[in-house]
A and B are shown apart, each in its own frame.
Chain A
Amino acid sequence: MSTLSPLHAVHEALGASFTDFAGWAMPLRYGSELAEHKAVRTAAGIFDLSHMGEIELTGPEAAQALDYALVGNLSAVKPGRARYTMICDEDGGVLDDLVVYRLADDRFMVVANASNAATVATALRERAAGFSVEVDDQSASVALIAVQGPASPAIVGPVTGADLVSLAYYAAVPARVAGHEVLLARTGYTGEDGFELYVEGANAAEVWQALADAGAEHGLVPAGLACRDTLRLEAGMPLYGNELGVELTPFDAGLGRVVKFDKPGDFVGRAALERRRDADVDSRVLVGLVGSGRRAPRHGYAVADSDGNRVGTVTSGALSPTLGHPIAMAYVPVSVSEPGTALTVDIRGTVAPVEVVKLPFYKRPA
């Protein structure tokens, strides 16, 4: 039995197709995922992300607890700001990638992927045990609505009455929508300007409706998880389970910068991550690949060098809706990771030429 989002009835009324995502029945698409993708790139899309996990840490040592539990330097984050970070195990393997909001001096909200929410909540409870902090998993009661795309400020501004000019990327403020309290954050997973609104599940439908009504004249459309995946892929953003996993460290994913060795105190995974940072290994790195034609390299397909020797594996791939050609991410050895390197991908028995490129594939117009 799937968990239903507090917005399930809204999606049914909109004719959504649903998919099971980590035990949640979530909208995959409402009509055409290509149209939804394009709307987010050119106007705006509204997403239900209520499957994400929200775990609050409150107490005088909340910051110290997170400094110990996560690889980031959370005590350095100012109230009202957010940080992209990771939680690793003792071996440096990534348990999840996270966005952490500092709501007040003594209060943080950790946002985890749906598939890892329970793991993260458990790990945070264990790691916070020695600190003066309460860990409260609110995943079941908190809904998350995202409005993403170039038109999103014109939609979200009037509905919330918030001063968006002073709301920077990775900042968050309390706001009100349709009379309900929300946490309004300028964050997202699409490569566009956009907002994420955290709201009590019981109020989610009214908040969604207010945003949808305000967005109608701006071309806002409901958008499902299918286009969310192609949007984040074009933007070169990792997806846990594809580009990230417990068998990889942040360094393997090219995200070693999230590990803050110079923060005060010890943290879980420090020793292993220091070894990994200092190791002189021909390690794998995450690269972008572009192809031609219409057939896309997909998750799990083999990557080979120009002599046909297997060098890696595709982690995510699709025919890019925005660019019109196949794009993929893959782990390959450093020796074949330079942009311009010619590689091939085995697309179900056909050897397709691809070229290594710098990520991201798509950057929004400045």
Chain B
Amino acid sequence: MSIPENLGYTEEHEWVDLADSGVATVGITEFAAKNLGDVVFVQLPEVGAKITRGEPCGEVESVKAVSELYSPVDGEVVEINEAVIDSPELVNTDPYGDGWMFRARVAEEPDLLDAAAYDALTKES
């Protein structure tokens, strides 16, 4: 199971890339995608939407299950991944790349799990 070192993680199985200063890129982890199975529908927040850490801001639906997408940050959505709406299978095939969900402008750096802590979390469950 891939858990890239350069990303931050949440207990709700989202990953956050803060490489661009002030803008967070958000997706769901390979662990989450694998547990959901084949993703067939993704609903994302609208560009401009204010999102709150820990609050649902979208939905990821697989053949077998529906899962809420929780915002890992406080901020404002500046871009969404249209490709993942058209091709939800990207969440399974490339969860840390083309399967990203949205980008949000964040005022302060969120408190996230590092790769080792997230790895430990996935092994508990």
Interface residues of A (CB under 8 A from B): 17, 28-29, 32-34, 226, 229-230, 294-296, 298, 318-319, 321, 348
Contacts and interface: CB of A to CB of B under 8 A. Distances in A.
A226 B64 contact: yes
Nearest to A224: B37
A253 to B, nearest CB: 23
Contacts of B88: 294
Q: Determine the main DSSP class of A at the interface with B.
A: mixed
Nearest to B38: A34
A348 B61 CA distance: 12
Given A226-B64, A295-B61, A321-B63, A33 B38 contact: yes
Contacts of A33: 37-38, 63-64
Question: How big is chain B's contact interface, by range?
Answer: 10 to 19
Contacts of A34: 38, 40, 63, 89
B41 A294 contact: yes
Interface in B18-42: 34-35, 37-38, 40-41
Contact of A226 (B34, B41, B63, B92): B63
A32 B66 contact: no
Q: Determine the main DSSP class of B at the interface with A.
A: mixed
Given A33-B37, A34-B40, A318-B63, 17 more contacts: A17-B34, A28-B37, A29-B37, A32-B92, A33-B63, A33-B64, A34-B38, A226-B37, A226-B64, A229-B64, A294-B88, A295-B41, A295-B61, A296-B61, A319-B61, A348-B59, A348-B66
Contact of B40 (A28, A29, A226, A294): A294
Interface in B37-91: 37-38, 40-41, 59, 61, 63-64, 66, 88-89
6 contacts: A226-B37, A226-B64, A294-B41, A295-B41, A296-B61, A318-B63
Contacts of A230: 63
B93 to A, nearest CB: 9
B37 A319 contact: no
B101 to A, nearest CB: 16
A319 B66 contact: no
A29 B39 CA distance: 14
A230 B40 CA distance: 13
